[in-house]
């Protein structure tokens, strides 16, 4: 169990949790959505600037949450910038499977680097109650780019 | 009313010498042996269960009594003209009498069995609220209410147009009596407050609140679900109009709560739910209703849960509510002292008189992370907004960790919590 805890709270996650990247409100965002985790009190807002051809030109977030949800949002905003919306959809699906401990099969080669980065969050699979923390920001960005305003991880 | 659970904050220094629970008349080891769950190992550590404020563990005396009631004494109540149904009915009604004696009601007819405290408060909001309140009338609640004592009044407001006024809380978590007095006015028709804050541990001055509200001509509902556990209640001395509590925090089963109300008042209120068992006579044109409590217990009630609740009350009564409260207060002082020594830890709620509930923050660590990490060391606490979001907003918090102490906790549980919190700090630094 203590190994699982150490795996969940790796240095990379603690660093992103304490010093989140892209923690800001960009004025030129084209869409945004709130992600609420009502049972824990986590509240994030994800801002996205979607440019022509459905490319994400900028992604950022604000809010409060646990180390896992903040680290996940921090890493996600870095990863999705420069990607197409459809690619973000793919990555979300893969990431969700990783968090739940499901087999992700042979992911497309172009996602390999991103999946390597996201792998540090896969420690949540040992903590089913925390999967929703890791996926909160992804639910929010999914809602933002597909035109919903608020999502709940419940 | 002397509130046995009350603990004066200034007594911290006097009580910090406590190192063992072996006070002469309180055998915590023997009590722990009655609770099977306390023998569990969680992640290779003995379970340190510090979440009784959310729901308490159950002693074998309750479990065995319910087992027998299901195996050998079970039938529906108030219906059958056969021996087993009579036995089940007697058990159910005797449970009502046990509850009535416990809260010192005038008569068992003042005890209505509900599903939980939430259902009890909703009953009052629907039945009393929609009958006796009018648009423009005011209901006063406190800033310390949990959602169960906020949302039913908001539903009532949306339905009939009453107004809700909120008594503020100071930075320590004290109920501001002078602000309450300012809010009282001829429009005040109901005051609904908790006996103990489930987040801050504050013990509210409910006796005084009742007196002031009555002087202003308002009825009073006390939400006793946290308070009754730490010292019981005397509803006649308190003199409120309604008092609500739940079974599962009182070491009894889930699925049962209690609404006590003054009998003459209950009998002026219309039914809340309709169904069997609450009627005198039914035709398709007109139905007449029985008096309280039957009027408010439509359908098959929580029969075995009532029996289990009575067993829990008997169990606590045997040990002594005062003895339990003294033990819990000593542990509260011990825990407060130990937690205060952890650098970066801040206790939320430093009211003058507290029940054994401690909410806290740890610098730079979210409550949810605390909860997950200390669980790996066998420690169970609640993390989150505790179903009291307005109060959390008041203190600028989105979540806290909360340790709540029950009759079976000991200093080892507290030491285990403190060790586990130091482990959290180790991971985060």
Three-state secondary structure readout of A4-64: HHHHHCCHHHHHHHHCCCCECCCCCCCEEEEEEECCCCEEEEEEEEECHHHEEEEEEEEEE
- Nearest C-alpha neighbor of B353 from the set B1, B16, B11: B11
CA B122 to chain centre: 15
Overall number of domains in chain B: 2
Indicate yes or no: CB of B373 within 8 angstroms of CB of A67: no
Active-site residue, B387 included: yes
Structural domain of B387: 7-58+320-428
Predicted pLDDT of residue A108: 87
Secondary structure letter of residue B415 according to DSSP: H
Residue B9 backbone dihedrals phi, psi, to 5 degrees: -60, -35
Residues A62, A89: contact at Cβ < 8 Å? Answer: no
- For residue B49, being part of any structural domain is answered with yes
> Each residue of A15-30: pLDDT tens digit?
999 999 999 999 999 9
B43 touches chain A (CB under 8 A): yes
CA of B367 to nearest chain A CA: how many angstroms apart?
7
A127: closest CA of chain B, how far (Å): 8
Mean pLDDT by groups of 10 residues along chain B of 429 residues: 48 39 75 98 97 98 98 92 94 98 98 98 98 98 96 98 97 97 98 97 97 98 97 96 98 98 97 87 88 94 98 97 96 98 96 96 93 96 87 87 98 98 94
Q: Is A36 left (phi over 0), alpha (psi -120 to 50) or beta?
A: beta
Phi and psi for B86 in degrees, rounded to 5? Answer: -65, -40
Q: B398 vs A41: CB contact, 8 Å cut-off? A: yes
For residues A61 and A23, is the Cβ–Cβ distance under 8 A? Answer: yes
B181 touches B154 (CB < 8 A):
no
Cβ-based neighbour number of residue B280 at 10 Å: 11
A68 with B384: Cβ contact below 8 A:
no
CATH assignment at residue B372: 3.90.1150.10
Asked if B290 and B231 sit in the same domain, the reply is yes
Question: Of B317, B334, B359, which closes a domain?
Answer: B317
Backbone angles phi, psi at B286, to 5 degrees: -155, 140
- Averaged pLDDT score across all residues of chain A: 91
Q: What is the pLDDT of residue B388?
A: 85
pLDDT at A154: 53
Interchain proximity B365–A67, CB inside 8 Å: yes
Q: Are residues B287 and B178 in the same domain?
A: yes
Mean pLDDT (whole number) for A77-93: 95
Cβ distance A130 to B427 less than 8 Å, yes or no, reads: no
Q: Identify all chain B residues contacting A121, using CB atoms and an 8 Å cutoff.
A: none
Q: Which of B387, B403, B417, B424 is catalytic?
A: B387
d(CA A5, CA A16): 17
**Nearest residue of B to residue A37, measured between CA atoms:** B384
| DSSP letter (8 states) at residue B189 | E
Is the domain of B259 the same as that of B392? no
B20 domain-assigned? yes
Half-sphere exposure of A153 (CA within 13 A, CB side): 27
**Cβ of A8 and B372 within 8 Å?**
yes
Residues B284 and B195 in one domain: yes
Domain of B85, CATH number, reads 3.40.640.10
Evaluate if residue A147 carries a pLDDT over 90: no
DSSP state, residue B196? B
Whether B104 and B127 map to the same domain: the answer is yes
Does B427 contact A at CB distance below 8 Å? Answer: yes
Q: Is residue B2 domain-resident? A: no
Res. A37 pLDDT band, cuts 50 70 90: confident
CA of B291, closest CA in chain A: separation in Å?
40
End-to-end, the C-alpha distance of chain A in Å comes to 26
d(CA B73, CA B84): 6
Q: Is residue B279, in this structure, part of any structural domain at all?
A: yes
Residues from chain A that touch B44, judged by Cβ atoms under 8 A, are: 1
- For this complex, say whether ipTM is above 0.90: no
What's the gap between Cα B88 and its chain centre? 27
Residue A106's pLDDT band (boundaries 50, 70, 90)? confident
Enumerate domains of chain A plus CATH numbers: 2-147 (3.90.1010.10)
């Amino acid at each position: 169990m203590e190994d699982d805890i150490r795996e969940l709270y790796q240095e990379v996650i603690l660093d992103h949790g304490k010093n989140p990247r892209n923690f800001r409100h960009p004025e030129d965002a084209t869409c945004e959505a709130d992600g609420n985790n009502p049972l824990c009190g986590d509240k994030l807002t994800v801002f996205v600037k979607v440019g022509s051809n459905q490319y994400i030109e900028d992604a950022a977030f604000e809010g409060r949450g646990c180390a896992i949800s903040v680290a996940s949002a921090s890493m996600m905003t870095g990863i999705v910038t420069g990607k197409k919306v459809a690619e973000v959809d793919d990555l979300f699906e893969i990431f969700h499977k990783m968090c739940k401990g499901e087999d992700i099969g042979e992911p497309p080669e172009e996602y390999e680097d991103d999946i390597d980065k996201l792998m540090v969050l896969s420690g949540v699979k040992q903590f089913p109650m925390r999967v929703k923390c890791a996926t909160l920001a992804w639910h929010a960005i999914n809602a933002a780019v597909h035109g919903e305003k608020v999502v709940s991880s419940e | 009313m002397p509130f046995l659970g009350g603990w004066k904050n200034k007594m911290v220094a006097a009580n910090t010498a406590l190192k063992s629970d072996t006070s002469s008349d309180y055998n915590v080891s023997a009590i722990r042996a009655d609770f099977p769950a306390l023998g569990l190992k969680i992640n290779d550590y003995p379970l340190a269960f510090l979440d009784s404020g959310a729901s308490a563990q159950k002693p074998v005396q309750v479990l065995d009594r319910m087992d027998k009631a299901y195996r050998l004494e079970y039938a529906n109540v108030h219906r059958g003209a056969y021996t087993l149904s009579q036995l089940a009915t007697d058990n159910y009604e005797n449970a009502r009498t046990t509850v009535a004696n416990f809260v010192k009601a005038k008569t068992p007819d003042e005890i209505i069995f509900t599903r939980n405290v939430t259902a009890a408060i909703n009953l009052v909001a629907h039945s009393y609220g929609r009958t006796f309140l009018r648009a423009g009338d005011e209901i006063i609640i406190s800033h310390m209410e949990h959602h169960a004592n906020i949302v039913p009044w908001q539903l009532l407001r949306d339905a009939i147009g009453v107004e809700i006024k909120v008594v503020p809380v100071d930075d320590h978590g004290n109920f501001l009596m002078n602000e309450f007095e300012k809010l009282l006015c001829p429009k005040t028709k109901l005051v609904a407050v908790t006996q103990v804050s489930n987040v801050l541990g504050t013990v509210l001055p409910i006796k005084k609140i009742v007196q002031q509200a009555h002087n202003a001509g308002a009825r009073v509902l006390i939400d006793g679900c946290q308070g009754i556990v730490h010292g019981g209640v005397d509803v006649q001395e308190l003199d409120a109009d309604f008092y609500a509590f739940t079974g599962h925090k009182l070491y009894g089963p889930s699925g049962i709560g209690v609404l006590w109300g003054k009998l003459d008042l209950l009998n002026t209120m219309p039914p809340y739910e309709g169904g069997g068992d609450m009627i005198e006579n039914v035709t398709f044109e007109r139905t007449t209703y029985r008096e309280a409590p039957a009027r408010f217990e439509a359908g098959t009630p929580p029969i075995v849960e009532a029996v289990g609740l009575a067993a829990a009350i008997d169990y606590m009564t045997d040990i002594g509510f005062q003895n339990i409260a003294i033990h819990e207060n000593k542990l509260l002082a011990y825990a407060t002292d130990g937690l205060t020594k952890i650098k970066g830890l801040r206790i939320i709620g430093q009211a003058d008189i507290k029940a054994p509930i401690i909410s806290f923050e740890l610098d730079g660590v979210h409550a949810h992370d605390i909860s997950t990490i200390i669980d790996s060391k066998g420690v169970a606490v609640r993390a989150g907004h505790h179903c009291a979001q307005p109060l959390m907003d008041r203190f600028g918090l989105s979540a806290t960790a909360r340790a709540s102490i029950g009759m079976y906790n000991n200093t080892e549980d507290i030491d285990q919590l403190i060790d586990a919190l130091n482990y959290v700090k180790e991971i985060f630094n």
